[in-house]
Amino acid sequence: MIDQMKRACAIAKKDIRIYYLMGPVIIFGILAPTFLFLAFMIGRDLPVDFLIAGLLGMTIFFTSTSVAPVITPTETQTKNLERLAAAPVHITTILFGDVLASVLFGVGISFIPLLIGLAIGVTIAHPFILVTGIVLAAFCFSAMGLIFSSTPTSATSVVMMMSSMIKFPLVFISGIFIPVGELPLWARVLASLSPLTYITDLCRYSFRSANYYPILVDVTALVIFLVIFMTVAIKLHGRSLPKRL
């Protein structure tokens, strides 16, 4: 077990060196959510804590789901995946290494909106809950990114296009721009199916803004989504790996 963890950390270190500065990661992980948020914020008189909580949730979501979809297609194309498959490394170890790289990227970039919020006067009333939520959400969204990359293709553009078709709709139904409590019933039902809803709710609670769900519900939902995403990702990658080699 310890040996496999060391190998997962080595894979994560390799991913960090190779993939953090790739174009798709920068565009879909940082620039896209930034411009989307600015387009929403400009010209609207909204509470600062509401805005920062939404920006933080969206940043974690986009950054944590931008690395994993790039790794597997690129390594299929460069034949690095064949070398990993030939090594004494279980597929779960490979995927966990990819998740660790995504989590570190998501958590690291999330400090930017957090520092912006502190600079403009946002108060963090519950720092432990906020940090727990950020880390848990980063794992959850990174596991979601693994599902996107399970398609047996070497074209990164195909995977990023498919992931964008899912990620952008989730942003608009997850209470980032409109509080969940102000949505109609059918929209609240859809919001409850999105993991982004729960980290945004946790962020708002941590910033003393109005949150919709009890904290225990938010944390439990993120854990459930993480388990589901990771289980599905392992099964899908197990099926698609022979097609990539």
Q: Is 3 exposed, middle or buried (0-12, 13-18, 19+ CB in 10 A)?
A: exposed
Terminal-to-terminal C-alpha distance of the chain: 26
Query: DSSP string of 148-195?
Result: HTTSS-S-HHHHHHHHHHHHHHHHHHTTSSS-GGGS-HHHHHHHHT-H
29-65 pLDDT tens trace: 778 777 777 777 776 677 788 888 888 898 899 888 8
pLDDT higher at 120 or 86: 120
Containing structural domain, residue 199: 2-244
Domain tally, the chain: 1
Q: Is this model's pTM higher than 0.85 or not?
A: yes
DSSP letter at 215 equals H
What was the pLDDT predicted at 117? 85
What was the pLDDT predicted at 244? 67
What was the pLDDT predicted at 224? 97
